[in-house]
Amino acid sequence: MTNPIDLIASLGVVPVIAIERVSDAVALADALLEGGLPIAEITFRTAAAADVLAAIRDARPELCIGAGTILDQGSLRRAIESGARFALAPGFDPEIVDAAESLKLPFYPGIMTPTDLTLAVARGVRLAKFFPAGVAGGPKALSGIAAPFAHLGVRFIPTGGVTQASIGEWLDIPQVVAVGGTWIAKTDDIREGRFKEIARNAAAAVKAARQKLDERA
């Protein structure tokens, strides 16, 4: 089974998804797979998140599923029980970092400032979510924040405000492993059954990320 971070790094993009109904889980998974994107971050912003993870785990095990918006240890445990292979959070909570480590779940907390990153690095974090990436200043801001930590091998997944058009800008930063894409499978598109559109969005994101990753190679 592929290590989640290896898969994330090979794709360069992770769809970040808030899904409201378990009944849409398999159709969503199929749309992502059709678009060549065998990974998904299902955020715990909806009551359905854990059940969606379990439904995808059971029906489409070839899709690597992760949990997002993990704000407490209860959500962390539910994510693991539901089949999450990795997890992320919008901010840094050292207790959740420690809990994820003890449970052997790859966990990538969020940071926005050098202070956040200093605290995370001291806790052993070497891959962090940069959030909210657009509001926090975009690629130039992340480049500045990342520079003093580069010698430690710290890497990032910017999320929040990233667009199809800006994928290349973010992946121009050597420390960026991948971007998080909320535009790929929007809640409204899932609710309205626009799965062909989601597949097209996934394919376009994969293509844009692949072009930039090939340039970096």
Kindly list the catalytic residues. 41, 129
Backbone angles phi, psi at 97, to 5 degrees: -55, -45
* Residue 214 Cα to chain centre, angstroms: 21
Distances (CA, A) of 161 to 52, 107, 207: 25, 21, 19
SS (H, E, C) 116-141: HHHHHHHCCCCEEEECCCCCCCHHHH
Q: Please list the residues that pair with 41 across neighbouring strands.
A: 16, 66
Contacts of 135 (CB under 8 A, 6+ apart): 160, 161
Find tokens 């801001």 and name the residue: 141
